[in-house]
Amino acid sequence: MNRESDGVDDARWEHGSDFHWPGLDIAGTDDDASRWLAGLEAIRYAAGRGALRALLDHGGWPRVWLPSYVCAELVAAVGDRVRFYADDPSQAQGRIPADAQSGHAIVRINYFGLRRPNSAATLRERGLTVIDDHTHDPCGPWARDSDADYCLASLRKSLPLPDGAVLWSPVGGRLPSKPEACEAAAAKLPAMLLKSLYLAGHPVSKPRFRALAIAAEDRLAELAGVGMSAVSAELLECLPIAQLRARRRENFQAFASHLAAEEVGLLQPADPSLTPFACVLLFPSAVARELARRRLIAARIYPAVLWPLDELPDHRAMFPEACEVADRVLALHCDARYSAADMQRVAAGY
């Protein structure tokens, strides 16, 4: 991937939103993260929600506990079996309720890649099946050292892939049968290529690639549990995953060292060797968050609001802490699309 964002025309500079296809200046596959991922006995799906849905249909658990701070895609994948327990990224770990019983499954999320490895042994002793979600740092230490019954990770959230997710069992648990590779799942690739050309200054219509990206995201949601596309599988082979991951950590540090605003907090990893998924800002109030969001958008910096929880019935009454965090966070991407210079510009734009 090009350093210092070369290939990006300054007049077209922007930050965030969907991935563009990056130039690759380092050959992939021969680094420890790529080798680890390639060697994993995993089932490959087009999307993380499809991986979870397939696992739950296969395992047949009558109740599935999700953390209270969670994305809508996972809630929909669990469906009527869902129960919630209190957890959010401002906590070191979740509070497992007494009525999470033997025979149920529980999903834990390594929020934004900020958490240290956490053994599943105590939960398993209670008879729970533990499913860890490593979407935010798929090749991080917790994913690689996990002793959970199952792990899943949506790869397309941290890597420039049009689709892709993996499901594996660190303890040799039975996995669902392998789905067929589905080329329609890669519908985002044309939008990624056009965005790349747009950023380089070519005469490409931004509304057109945005519309293609949105339609592709809708298509992926409809496809649900299909297999990862062959094109994403090929692209994955080309990605120098360890370098991309190292770049994410450097970018987080560049942002952290240039963030001058005092009224806003930056969620920190549990230890400095971890690799955050994004620079997640915690504002003093929802109003302050909204003002900052508008200011950033005016500077062509597109942050993500992760995750709105208001559509979940009774959630605010039952989980006020998670809802309060959800009201106040804004996530700024720090993946390998960007350079340290970009991250300084984002910190200044804030």
Q: Which of 191, 190, 193, 206 is nearest to 12 (CA)?
A: 206
**Tally of CB atoms within 10 A around 300:** 13
Q: Given the rule CB under 6 A, which of 28-36, 128-136, 204-212, 280-288 is the region that contacts ligand PLP? A: 128-136
**Does position 321 bind ligand PLP by CB under 6 A?**
no
Output the CA–CA distances (angstroms, integers) from residue 87 to 67, 73, 248, 309, 326, in the order listed: 5, 17, 25, 13, 12
Work out which of 157, 188, 195, 315 binds ligand PLP, going by CB under 6 A: 157
Binding residues for ligand PLP restricted to 165-184, rule: CB under 6 A: 165
Work out which of 109, 148, 309, 343 binds ligand PLP, going by CB under 6 A: 109
**Does position 120 bind ligand PLP by CB under 6 A?**
no
For residue 68, give the H/E element and its range.
Answer: none
The residue to which tokens 């990224």 are assigned: 89
Report whether 275 contacts 252 (CB < 8 A): yes
**Closest residue to bound ligand PLP by CB:** 48
**Does position 131 bind ligand PLP by CB under 6 A?**
no
**Does position 31 bind ligand PLP by CB under 6 A?**
no
Report whether 103 contacts 59 (CB < 8 A): no
d(CA 85, CA 81): 13
List, in sequence order, every residue forming a beta bridge with 4; answer none if it has no partner: none
**Does position 43 bind ligand PLP by CB under 6 A?**
no
What lies within 8 Å, CB to CB, of 203 at 6+ separation is none
Cα 224–chain centre separation: 17
**Does position 106 bind ligand PLP by CB under 6 A?**
no
List, in sequence order, every residue forming a beta bridge with 65; answer none if it has no partner: 83, 106
Work out which of 8, 33, 54, 71 binds ligand PLP, going by CB under 6 A: 71
Number of residues counted as binding ligand PLP (CB under 6 A): 14
Token code pair at residue 183: 């080329």
Report the nearest approach of ligand PLP to the CB of residue 49 (Å): 4
Q: Given the rule CB under 6 A, which of 4-12, 68-76, 182-190, 328-336 is the region that contacts ligand PLP? A: 68-76
Report the nearest approach of ligand PLP to the CB of residue 47 (Å): 3
Q: Given the rule CB under 6 A, which of 16-24, 47-55, 187-195, 197-205 is the region that contacts ligand PLP? A: 47-55
Helix pair 286-298, 320-328: axis angle to 10 deg: 30
Handedness of CA 160, 106, 122, 102 (dihedral sign): negative
**Does position 133 bind ligand PLP by CB under 6 A?**
yes
Q: Which is nearer to ligand PLP, 192 or 254 (CB)?
A: 192
Q: Which of 68, 4, 23, 17 is nearest to 238 (CA)?
A: 23
Report the nearest approach of ligand PLP to the CB of residue 48 (Å): 3
Report whether 117 contacts 146 (CB < 8 A): yes
The mark string for 326-345 relative to ligand PLP (x by CB under 6 A, - otherwise) is --------------------
Report the nearest approach of ligand PLP to the CB of residue 264 (Å): 22
Work out which of 74, 167, 281, 347 binds ligand PLP, going by CB under 6 A: 74
Report the nearest approach of ligand PLP to the CB of residue 262 (Å): 29
**Does position 47 bind ligand PLP by CB under 6 A?**
yes
What lies within 8 Å, CB to CB, of 104 at 6+ separation is 61, 62, 63, 64, 65, 83, 127, 128, 129
Work out which of 5, 118, 146, 154 binds ligand PLP, going by CB under 6 A: 154
List, in sequence order, every residue forming a beta bridge with 279; answer none if it has no partner: 332
**Does position 267 bind ligand PLP by CB under 6 A?**
no
d(CA 19, CA 131): 27
Site of interaction with ligand PLP (CB under 6 A):
47-49, 71, 73-74, 109, 133, 135-136, 154, 156-157, 165
